[in-house]
């Protein structure tokens, strides 16, 4: 009955909101403390049967996501409270945001999720291990990791002292000019567990960091160079060592991988001062037309480096038994780059966006160097030798650092198609991404196994992705149809048609369909994950 | 007398007053114009408004102003001094009449006397109009945008607009290396999914296109955007960027022609100047603000029992004002609108209305604001501060109505709460979440 009451209560709230005007909710008489919030329920259904090395096997039509999210936000501008403050002090305020997520697929989803169990293959070093000892109750693990999340998502205070603006606390920060995919925007980690990236909002996947952000308006301005600003941030590792979490095995959004007798280890960011994130950028406007920035910062790469590690060697009846593990190592990444944006005036009337950045010593994946394939027996031998000489029996594969250069150019154009939409323009955006690995060699691979060849998928020296986005507003803004598409010349096409329906001021219904077709490369790793996503959202 | 009897007496008095009010129009209202007595409005109605009354959408409470609208002495004195000082160049910029150079700063009406035979009379009227807006100097305006259909409220949005004028401002000119005429930030504040969306516009004091940046909370960053689609309906409403305050476009982007003058009925929320109250004293003089005594608008959909259009301003008075009628045509061939007729006060140069045709020449929309003459005590300062803006799409039988100043919605003029340094990229970054 409690459930019934809750549903009716929710229905009443929904009906009340449908009829209610927007009026911002202020908690004080001066309209300075604003309460904001949203809650939504979202379900995703697979529209094709999983194949290849995807785990778990999911038939067509099965639910892979049943997320319920609530966000409550409190923001206050304090300037009006301190009317007697000195003129140089301003922009005083704070913002708090609580985020709670419940993913129900681990409780009431299809069997392959709510009762997910996997029996790992036996290790060649311990072939007698029982099936019971190799059985992993992944539903329990994933329910704990992915089932519930309650966090103070944002909590910061801010203020300006003359030209200096400071914001301190858990906050979001994004630099760059790209849409959908990131390039220079690598400051915050992305939560790789949070749904299928093609259909989730990028902002929902960002993980805010405890940081100090300082923005200094520089006095050197002229008619040609304006808005000159030094923007910087510092994330003390002692306070925040958040990495981009890897989707665990069994998650419907994890990369495909074969079952393995390897243990799985994650080496997370350190917590010493040297492990901190930080950097700066200089941003300005040229000729009142072009916005330009140059940036350098240190972050933790979202993609961990992978290698094989022998964690120990036991001597069983005098025989060495090695314990191998896949070691996912997060590491600091230096990034240097710049951006350029400009509105090319009519008749061309197009916004041009560009970014370029060098990722210094990025760890690419060379399986042989990482201790996999042919080098695995050597690694095991090294660990056994270590054990026999009195050590713990450890050995680890190596990393392959390479400088990686990335750039993107994008164009945004709004245009009229009055026969289709007489009151609103269409917005079209396209971007071309290029990644170039310096000192590339044929041994460099992606860390994903091709189900057909059972070998790691080659990574090319030059990889390209072209994205497209088309959208408009219909029916007085109630309907927003859009189509996102991505093409990879390696033979992968992804498309996400979507429709958002605004009901009244506070309720939004969203439907999206994610489709991936083509070869097993890059986005094509997820070519068996087509899904329909449905979301009902209520906002304050 | 006991407290109980006292209360009953007070109740009876107020009941009698209410009944008296219901029985006949208040003394301020000379008559009500409805479909049945439309002829009484003479030729003072815009054709679109006449049709609204005819079909029962609007009832016009006609009244007479108890004052003669005029700006404050300082502004009028500066305007008089500008006589003959400025001219219009080929790109429709305001230039010095003798040297042909663009002035760094203009205060007051640049063209205080309009000669209808002057071929530049139309654009001069429109420049005068802009300089009445610029006199607000630094302004902070909350607005509540109601998207309406025949069925009532479709949805609504709240926003906060701040502007800083570089030309036409009171007090000392600001340092202006970027040669801007004014800058504006529109920040959406409600509902939650649009909260934090902010646009920064720089308008240059020459014929260059505006520069526009947008902060999008979903992307967490500032993006440059096109400033060329100022006739695109904002978020599916009936409002375009150029429609704000009747005309928020760039004068140089249109061709102008003065096509006549006449008297028209325009809405006003008060038959007296709307009151402004002194705020803080600062280096640029006194901050002025609206208060609880500012008469706000009550839209039809907000009034129980109202049978007219949901977007009709039910508590407005309609007063007769002399106006210039100026025809404007966009130079941009992709502009949504065709010919537009602007109705601009002959005394104060406030724009009250525009009637919009489609590019094919068919009538489409009417935009209206109230008279909005808002004055400080003793008329030491007067500014255009409106209570309402109305955007009626007659072709599609719908409207967007905006409540601006009112008892719960404070507008600040010449305010230190708005600072020039906010209107930069770093200012926009600070406003971001």
Residues B217-257: tens digit of each pLDDT: 877 888 888 888 888 888 888 999 999 999 999 999 999 99
Decide if pLDDT at B120 tops 70. yes
DSSP strand pairing (A531-539 vs B29-33): unpaired
Give the chain B residue whose CA is nearest to the CA of A163.
Answer: B421
Contact between A172 and B220 using a beta-carbon 8 Å cutoff: yes
Contact between A505 and B155 using a beta-carbon 8 Å cutoff: yes
Contact between B218 and A202 using a beta-carbon 8 Å cutoff: yes
Domain CATH code at residue A254: 2.40.160.10
Contact between A504 and B213 using a beta-carbon 8 Å cutoff: no
Identify the domain containing residue A486 by its residue range: 24-539
Give the chain A residue whose CA is nearest to the CA of B423.
Answer: A227
Give the chain A residue whose CA is nearest to the CA of B425.
Answer: A227
Give the chain B residue whose CA is nearest to the CA of A219.
Answer: B421
For residues B39-50, give the mean pLDDT.
90
Chain segment B353-375, per-residue pLDDT in tens: 999 999 999 999 999 999 999 99
Q: Give the list of residues 6+ apart from residue A420 with CB closer than 8 angstroms, or none.
A: A426, A472
Decide if pLDDT at A155 tops 60. yes
A123: pLDDT confidence band, cut at 50, 70 and 90? confident
For residues B75-104, give the mean pLDDT.
96
Q: Which of A34, A288, A291 sits opposite B178 (nearest CB)?
A: A288
Distance CA B127, CA B351 (A): 11
Give the chain A residue whose CA is nearest to the CA of B253.
Answer: A346
For residues A162-176, give the mean pLDDT.
93
Contact between B237 and A350 using a beta-carbon 8 Å cutoff: no
Q: Residue A159 has what pLDDT?
A: 94
Decide if pLDDT at B339 tops 70. yes
Which chain B residues touch A508 with a CB distance below 8 Å?
Answer: 193
Decide if pLDDT at A34 tops 60. yes
Q: Which of A79, A414, A505 sits opposite B232 (nearest CB)?
A: A414
Minimal CA–CA distance to B268: which of B132, B40, B64? B64
Q: Which of A173, A176, A539 sits opposite B192 (nearest CB)?
A: A539
Minimal CA–CA distance to B123: which of B263, B262, B254, B261? B254
For residues A328-350, give the mean pLDDT.
94
For residues A59-71, give the mean pLDDT.
97
Counting residues of chain A whose pLDDT is more than 90, the rounded percentage is: 77
The helix or strand, by DSSP H or E, that contains position A499, with its residue range, turns out to be strand A492-503
For residue B136, report the phi and psi dihedrals to the nearest 5 degrees. -70, -15
Decide if pLDDT at A190 tops 60. yes
B22: pLDDT confidence band, cut at 50, 70 and 90? very low
Distance CA A84, CA A89 (A): 10
Chain segment B252-310, per-residue pLDDT in tens: 999 999 999 999 999 999 999 999 999 989 999 999 999 999 999 999 999 999 999 99
Decide if pLDDT at B19 tops 70. no
Which chain B residues touch A73 with a CB distance below 8 Å?
Answer: 192
Is A180 contained in some domain? yes
Distance CA B157, CA B144 (A): 6
User: Which ipTM was obtained for this model?
Assistant: 0.86
Residue in this structure with the two tokens 């504040």, named with its chain if needed: B189
Distance CA B97, CA B85 (A): 6
Distance CA B368, CA B156 (A): 19
Decide if pLDDT at B4 tops 80. no
Q: Residue B199 has what pLDDT?
A: 93
Contact between A206 and B220 using a beta-carbon 8 Å cutoff: yes
CB A308 within 8 A of CB A396: yes
Contact between B154 and A478 using a beta-carbon 8 Å cutoff: yes
Mean model confidence pLDDT for chain B: 90
* Gap from B424 CA to chain A (nearest CA, Å): 6
Is A283 contained in some domain? yes
Which chain B residues touch A345 with a CB distance below 8 Å?
Answer: 209, 228
Distance CA A249, CA B136 (A): 62
Q: Which of B156, B191, B398 sits opposite A540 (nearest CB)?
A: B191
Q: Which of A95, A203, A414 sits opposite B226 (nearest CB)?
A: A414
CB A295 within 8 A of CB A336: yes
Is A1 contained in some domain? no
The helix or strand, by DSSP H or E, that contains position B178, with its residue range, turns out to be none
Decide if pLDDT at A171 tops 60. yes
For residues A396-402, give the mean pLDDT.
96
For residues A386-411, give the mean pLDDT.
95
Contact between B236 and A206 using a beta-carbon 8 Å cutoff: no
Distance CA A339, CA A357 (A): 9
Q: Which of A16-30, B177-191, B302-316 is the least confident region?
A: A16-30
Domain annotation for chain B: domains and CATH numbers: 129-154+229-416 (2.50.20)
Is A10 contained in some domain? no
Q: Which of A38, A289, A346 sits opposite B192 (nearest CB)?
A: A38
Return the residue in B196, B412, B426, B429 with the most chain A beta carbons within 10 A, the one to mutate for interface testing.
B426
Is A83 contained in some domain? yes
Is A8 contained in some domain? no
Give B29: exposed, middle or buried? Use CB within 10 Å, 0-12, 13-18, 19+: middle
Q: Residue A17 has what pLDDT?
A: 52
Which chain B residues touch A36 with a CB distance below 8 Å?
Answer: 190, 192, 195
Q: Residue A319 has what pLDDT?
A: 87
For residues A58-73, give the mean pLDDT.
96
Distance CA A466, CA A125 (A): 46
Helix ranges (H only) for A190-251 are 202-205
* Gap from A408 CA to chain B (nearest CA, Å): 15
Contact between B224 and A291 using a beta-carbon 8 Å cutoff: yes
Q: Residue B221 has what pLDDT?
A: 81
Give the chain B residue whose CA is nearest to the CA of A537.
Answer: B193
Contact between A343 and B195 using a beta-carbon 8 Å cutoff: no
* Gap from A343 CA to chain B (nearest CA, Å): 6
For residues A132-146, give the mean pLDDT.
93
Q: Residue B25 has what pLDDT?
A: 47
Which chain B residues touch A425 with a CB distance below 8 Å?
Answer: 229, 232
Mean model confidence pLDDT for chain A: 91
Distance CA B223, CA A427 (A): 15
Contact between A203 and B219 using a beta-carbon 8 Å cutoff: yes
How far is residue A14 from each of residues A38, B21, B95, B157, measured CA to CA in Å? 12, 39, 58, 18
Tokens of B317: 């008075």
Contact between A346 and B179 using a beta-carbon 8 Å cutoff: no
Decide if pLDDT at A8 tops 70. no
* Gap from A504 CA to chain B (nearest CA, Å): 5
Give the chain B residue whose CA is nearest to the CA of A157.
Answer: B433
| Interface A:B, Cβ pairs < 8 A | 183
Q: Which of B224, B332, B430 sits opposite A91 (nearest CB)?
A: B430
CB A156 within 8 A of CB A211: no
Q: Residue A407 has what pLDDT?
A: 98
Contact between A95 and B425 using a beta-carbon 8 Å cutoff: no
How far is residue A132 from each of residues A57, A120, A128, measured CA to CA in Å? 21, 10, 11
Cα dihedral value B62, B63, B65, B69, nearest 10: 0
Return the residue in A24, A350, A422 with the most chain B beta carbons within 10 A, the one to mutate for interface testing.
A24
Chain segment B343-353, per-residue pLDDT in tens: 999 999 999 99
A436: pLDDT confidence band, cut at 50, 70 and 90? very high
Chain segment A205-226, per-residue pLDDT in tens: 999 999 999 999 898 877 788 8
Is A6 contained in some domain? no
Give the chain A residue whose CA is nearest to the CA of B201.
Answer: A288
For residue A215, report the phi and psi dihedrals to the nearest 5 degrees. -125, 120
Q: How many domains does chain A have?
A: 1
Contact between A288 and B421 using a beta-carbon 8 Å cutoff: no
Neighbours of B104 (CB within 10 A): 11
* Gap from B225 CA to chain A (nearest CA, Å): 6
DSSP strand pairing (B382-384 vs B277-282): unpaired
Distance CA B231, CA B249 (A): 9
For residues A395-399, give the mean pLDDT.
96
A21: pLDDT confidence band, cut at 50, 70 and 90? low
The helix or strand, by DSSP H or E, that contains position B18, with its residue range, turns out to be helix B3-23
* Gap from B36 CA to chain A (nearest CA, Å): 33
Q: Residue B11 has what pLDDT?
A: 40
Decide if pLDDT at B411 tops 70. yes
Helix ranges (H only) for B55-189 are 73-81, 121-134
Return the residue in B152, B156, B174, B192 with the most chain A beta carbons within 10 A, the one to mutate for interface testing.
B192
Counting residues of chain B whose pLDDT is more than 70, the rounded percentage is: 94
Contact between A36 and B195 using a beta-carbon 8 Å cutoff: yes
Tokens of A15: 């009906």
* Gap from A263 CA to chain B (nearest CA, Å): 38
Decide if pLDDT at A85 tops 60. yes
B17: pLDDT confidence band, cut at 50, 70 and 90? very low
Q: Residue B116 has what pLDDT?
A: 96
Is A14 contained in some domain? no
* Gap from A119 CA to chain B (nearest CA, Å): 41
Chain segment B61-73, per-residue pLDDT in tens: 999 999 999 999 9
Which chain B residues touch A176 with a CB distance below 8 Å?
Answer: 221
Q: Residue B305 has what pLDDT?
A: 94
Contact between A343 and B237 using a beta-carbon 8 Å cutoff: no
Tokens of A271: 């917590």
With b for 16 or more beta-carbon neighbours within 10 A and e for fewer, the B136-166 pattern comes to: bbbbbbbbbbbbbbeeebbbbbbbbbbbbbb
For residues A459-487, give the mean pLDDT.
95
Contact between B153 and A21 using a beta-carbon 8 Å cutoff: yes
Contact between A24 and B208 using a beta-carbon 8 Å cutoff: no
Q: Give the list of residues 6+ apart from residue A515 with CB closer than 8 angstroms, or none.
A: A494, A495, A496, A530
Helix ranges (H only) for A81-201 are 105-108, 111-114, 138-146
Q: Residue A16 has what pLDDT?
A: 53
Neighbours of A387 (CB within 10 A): 21
């Amino acid at each position: 009955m409690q459930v019934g009451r809750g549903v009716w209560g929710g229905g009443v709230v929904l009906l009340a909101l449908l009829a209610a005007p927007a009026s911002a909710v202020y908690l004080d008489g001066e309209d300075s403390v604003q309460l904001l919030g949203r809650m939504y329920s979202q379900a995703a259904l697979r529209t094709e049967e999983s194949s290849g090395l995807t785990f778990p096997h999911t038939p067509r039509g099965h639910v892979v996501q049943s997320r319920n999210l609530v966000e409550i936000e409190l923001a206050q501008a304090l300037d009006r409270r301190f009317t007697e403050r000195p003129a140089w002090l301003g922009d005083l305020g704070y913002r708090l945001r609580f985020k709670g997520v419940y993913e129900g697929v681990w409780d009431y989803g299809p069997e392959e999720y709510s009762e997910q169990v996997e029996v790992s293959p036996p290790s060649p070093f311990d072939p007698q291990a029982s099936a019971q000892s190799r059985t992993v109750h992944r539903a329990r693990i994933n329910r704990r990791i992915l089932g519930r999340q309650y966090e103070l998502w944002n909590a910061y205070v801010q203020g300006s002292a003359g030209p200096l603006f400071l914001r301190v606390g858990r906050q979001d920060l994004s630099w760059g000019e790209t849409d959908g995919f990131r390039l220079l925007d690598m400051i915050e980690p992305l939560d790789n567990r949070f749904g299928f990236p093609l259909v989730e909002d990028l902002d929902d996947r960002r993980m805010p960091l405890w940081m100090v952000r300082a923005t200094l308006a520089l006095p050197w301005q002229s008619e040609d160079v304006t808005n000159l600003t030094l923007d910087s941030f510092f994330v003390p590792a002692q306070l925040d060592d958040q990495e981009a979490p890897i989707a665990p095995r069994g998650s419907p959004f994890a990369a495909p991988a074969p079952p393995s007798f390897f243990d799985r280890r994650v080496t997370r960011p350190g917590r010493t001062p040297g492990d901190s994130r930080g950097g700066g950028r200089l941003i300005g406007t040229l000729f009142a037309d072009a916005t330009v920035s140059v940036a350098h910062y240190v972050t933790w790469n979202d993609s961990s480096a992978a290698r094989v590690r022998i964690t120990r060697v036991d001597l069983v009846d005098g025989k060495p038994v090695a314990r191998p593990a896949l070691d996912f190592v997060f590491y600091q990444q230096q990034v240097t780059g710049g951006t350029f944006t400009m509105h090319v005036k009519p008749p061309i009337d197009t916004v041009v966006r560009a970014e370029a950045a060098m990722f210094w010593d990025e760890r690419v994946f060379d399986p042989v160097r990482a201790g996999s394939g042919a080098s695995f027996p050597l690694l095991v031998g090294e660990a056994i030798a270590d054990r026999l000489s009195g050590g713990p029996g450890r050995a680890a594969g190596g990393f392959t650092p390479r400088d990686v250069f990335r750039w993107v150019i994008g164009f945004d154009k709004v245009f009229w198609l009055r026969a289709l939409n007489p009151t609103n323009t269409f917005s079209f955006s396209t971007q071309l991404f290029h990644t170039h690995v310096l000192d590339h060699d044929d041994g460099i691979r992606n860390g994903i196994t091709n189900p057909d060849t059972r070998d790691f998928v080659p990574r090319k020296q030059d990889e390209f992705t072209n994205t497209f986005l088309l959208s408009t507003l219909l029916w007085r803004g109630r309907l927003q149809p859009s189509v996102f598409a991505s093409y990879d010349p390696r033979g992968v096409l992804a498309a996400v048609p979507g429709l958002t329906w605004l009901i009244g001021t506070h309720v939004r219904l969203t439907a999206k369909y994610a489709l991936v077709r083509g070869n097993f490369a890059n986005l094509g790793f997820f070519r068996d994950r087509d899904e329909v996503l449905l979301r009902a959202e209520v906002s304050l | 007398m006991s407290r109980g009897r006292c209360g009953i007496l007070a109740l009876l008095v107020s009941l009698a007053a209410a009944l008296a009010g219901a029985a006949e129009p208040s003394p301020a209202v000379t008559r009500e114009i409805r479909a049945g007595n439309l002829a009484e409005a003479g030729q003072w109605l815009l054709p679109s408004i006449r049709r609204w009354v005819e079909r029962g959408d609007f009832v016009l409470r006609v009244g007479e102003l108890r004052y003669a609208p005029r700006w404050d002495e300082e502004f009028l004195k500066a305007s008089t001094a500008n006589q003959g000082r400025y001219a219009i160049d080929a790109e429709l910029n305001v230039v010095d009449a003798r040297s042909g150079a663009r002035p760094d700063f203009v205060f007051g009406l640049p063209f205080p006397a309009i000669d209808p035979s002057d071929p530049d009379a139309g654009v001069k009227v429109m420049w005068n109009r802009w300089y009445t807006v610029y006199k607000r100097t630094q302004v902070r305006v909350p607005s509540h945008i109601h998207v309406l259909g025949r069925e009532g409220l479709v949805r609504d949005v709240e926003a906060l607009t701040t502007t800083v004028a570089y030309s036409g401002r009171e007090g000392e000119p600001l340092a202006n290396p970027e040669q801007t005429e004014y800058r504006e930030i529109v920040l959406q504040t409600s509902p939650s999914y649009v909260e934090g969306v902010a646009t920064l516009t720089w308008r240059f004091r020459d014929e260059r296109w505006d520069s526009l940046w947008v902060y999008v909370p979903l992307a967490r960053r500032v993006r440059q955007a096109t400033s060329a689609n100022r006739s695109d309906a904002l978020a599916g409403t009936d409002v375009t960027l150029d429609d704000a305050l009747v005309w928020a476009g760039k004068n140089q982007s249109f061709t102008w022609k003065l096509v006549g003058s006449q008297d028209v009925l325009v809405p006003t929320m008060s038959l007296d100047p709307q009151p402004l109250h002194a705020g803080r004293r600062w280096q640029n003089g006194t901050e002025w603000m609206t208060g609880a005594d500012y008469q706000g608008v009550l839209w039809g959909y907000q009034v129980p029992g109202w049978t007219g259009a949901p977007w009709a301003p039910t508590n407005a008075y309609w007063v007769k004002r002399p106006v210039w009628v100026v025809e404007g045509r966009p130079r941009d061939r992709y502009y949504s609108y065709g010919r537009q007729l602007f109705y601009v006060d002959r005394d104060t140069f406030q724009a009250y209305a525009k009637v919009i045709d489609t590019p094919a020449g068919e009538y489409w929309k009417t935009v209206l604001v109230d008279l909005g003459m808002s004055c400080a005590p003793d008329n030491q300062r007067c500014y255009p501060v409106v209570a309402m803006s109305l955007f009626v799409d007659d072709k599609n039988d719908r409207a967007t109505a905006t409540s601006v100043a009112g008892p719960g919605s404070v507008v600040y003029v010449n305010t230190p709460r708005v600072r020039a340094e906010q209107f930069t990229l770093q200012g926009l970054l600070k406003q971001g979440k």
